[in-house]
C-alpha cells in the first residue's frame, strides 16, 4: 500500500467501492461477525482504511455494530437488498413453495440452486424433520464437482465448457470426492442418462443428496432442485428410486412454471 507523509493515501472512488465490498465479502457463514482487527487481517488493508470504510458502511446500514462486544455483522440494508434480489428471481418465485412442500412431505432438506460462474449459489433451503441444519444455506456457494446440485447444473454443458469452468483436477473434501475431469464427465453422462444426480459423502461425511435439473422456456438448465440429509435419513440403497422420482417430478413442475413445455422421461425409465 502506498503511504505518504505518514498517512495512507486516499484511494479513488472506484477503488474505495471495491475495498468496501471486499470488507462485506469477509462476512461468511463461518464468520458472521468480525472485529476491525480481523477485517484488517483478512483484507490486507491498513487499519485507518478499514476503520474509515467500516464507519461508512455502518452509517449507510450495510454493517451493524454491537457496542458491547465490539463485533460487526451484516446490517439491515444488505438484508433488504438480498430480499429484493431473491424476490426478483423467477426461479426463486416458482420454486419456493414447491421446495417447502417437498421438505414437509419427505422430512428431508430441500435446496434450490443456480450456477454462478464456477460455483453453485443456493437460492432457497428448507429443513426437514430428519435433516436439520444449524445454519441457513441461502446465499451461500458451493463446489459444482462435489455436489449433486452442481452435477445437475453441469450435466448438459459441452466437455470443453465443463473443463473451462471447473478445471481438470479438483479440490477434495472427502476420499469420495471426484478429483479428476474424466471422473466428473463420466458422472455427468450418468446424470443425462437417468435424469438425476447423486452425491454420497462427496462434500461432507455422513451426508447425501439426490438432485434434478430445472429448465427454462428454452429447455436450458437454469437451476437444480435437491433433497439432502444424513445417510440414514435418505437410505439410498432402499429409497433412491423413490427420492429420484419425487425430485424429478417437482423439478419438472418448477420447469413447467418457468415455461418449459417438455416432459421428463427420466421417471418412466426408472
DSSP string of 168-217? Answer: SB---SSTTS--BHHHHHHHHHHHHHHS-EEEESSSSTTEEEEEEEEE-T
β-strand pairing of 221-230 with 207-215: antiparallel
Task: Identify the band that residue 7 occupies on the pLDDT scale cut at 50, 70 and 90.
Answer: very low
pLDDT at position 5 is 39
Classify 201 in phi/psi space as left (phi over 0), alpha (psi -120 to 50) or beta. Answer: left
Mean pLDDT of 242-261: 94
Residue 99 has pLDDT above 90, yes or no: yes
Q: In the predicted model, is pLDDT for residue 184 greater than 80?
A: yes
pLDDT band at 3 (very low <50, low <70, confident <90, very high): very low
Q: Percentage of the chain surpassing pLDDT 70?
A: 89
For 225, counting Cβ atoms within 10 Å of its Cβ (0-12 exposed, 13-18 middle, 19+ buried), the class is buried
Is the pLDDT at 120 greater than 50? The verdict is yes
Residue 116: HSE in the Cβ half-sphere, 13 Å Cα cutoff: 9
Strand partners, 142: 120
Q: In terms of CATH, what superfamily is 89-269?
A: GAF domain (3.30.450.40)
Fold of 8-79: Arc Repressor Mutant, subunit A (1.10.10)
| pLDDT of 12 | 55
Mean per-residue pLDDT, 112-130: 88
Give the pLDDT band (50/70/90) at residue 85: confident
Q: How long is the chain?
A: 270
The model's confidence at residue 16, banded by pLDDT at 50, 70 and 90, is confident
Q: Is the pLDDT of residue 135 over 80?
A: no
The pLDDT assigned to 65 comes to 93
Confidence of residue 4 (pLDDT cuts 50, 70, 90): very low
Percent of the chain with pLDDT over 90: 64
pLDDT recorded at residue 202: 95
pLDDT over 60 (residue 103): yes
The SS3 call for residue 93 is helix
Domain with CATH 1.10.10.10 in the chain: 8-79
Q: Is the confidence at residue 1, as pLDDT, over 90?
A: no
Q: Compute the mean pLDDT over every residue in the chain, rounded to the nearest whole number.
A: 87
Residue 137, pLDDT score: 67
Amino acid at each position: 500500500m502506498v503511504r505518504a507523509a505518514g498517512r495512507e493515501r486516499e484511494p479513488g472512488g472506484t477503488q474505495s467501492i471495491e475495498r468496501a465490498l471486499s470488507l462485506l465479502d469477509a462476512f461468511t457463514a463461518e464468520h458472521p461477525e468480525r472485529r476491525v482487527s480481523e477485517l484488517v487481517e483478512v483484507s490486507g488493508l491498513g487499519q485507518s482504511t478499514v476503520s474509515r470504510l467500516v464507519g461508512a458502511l455502518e452509517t449507510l446500514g450495510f454493517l451493524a455494530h454491537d457496542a458491547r462486544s465490539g463485533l460487526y455483522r451484516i446490517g439491515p440494508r444488505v438484508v433488504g437488498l438480498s430480499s429484493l434480489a431473491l424476490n426478483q428471481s423467477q426461479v426463486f418465485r416458482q420454486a419456493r413453495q414447491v421446495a417447502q412442500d417437498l421438505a414437509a412431505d419427505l422430512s428431508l432438506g430441500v435446496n434450490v440452486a443456480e450456477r454462478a460462474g464456477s460455483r453453485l449459489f443456493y437460492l432457497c433451503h428448507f429443513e426437514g424433520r430428519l435433516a436439520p441444519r444449524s445454519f441457513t444455506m441461502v446465499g451461500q456457494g458451493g463446489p459444482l464437482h462435489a455436489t449433486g446440485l452442481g452435477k445437475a447444473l453441469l450435466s448438459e454443458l459441452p466437455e470443453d465448457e465443463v473443463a473451462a469452468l471447473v478445471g481438470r483436477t479438483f479440490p477434495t473434501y472427502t476420499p469420495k470426492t471426484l478429483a479428476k475431469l474424466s471422473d466428473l464427465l463420466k458422472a455427468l453422462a450418468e446424470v443425462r442418462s437417468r435424469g438425476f444426480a447423486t452425491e454420497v459423502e462427496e462434500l461432507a461425511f455422513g451426508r447425501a443428496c439426490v438432485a434434478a435439473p430445472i429448465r427454462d422456456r428454452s429447455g436450458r438448465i437454469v437451476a437444480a432442485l435437491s433433497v439432502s440429509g444424513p445417510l440414514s435419513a435418505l437410505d439410498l440403497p432402499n429409497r433412491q428410486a423413490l427420492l429420484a422420482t419425487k425430485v424429478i417430478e417437482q423439478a419438472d413442475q418448477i420447469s413447467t412454471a418457468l415455461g418449459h413445455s417438455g416432459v421428463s422421461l427420466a421417471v418412466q425409465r426408472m
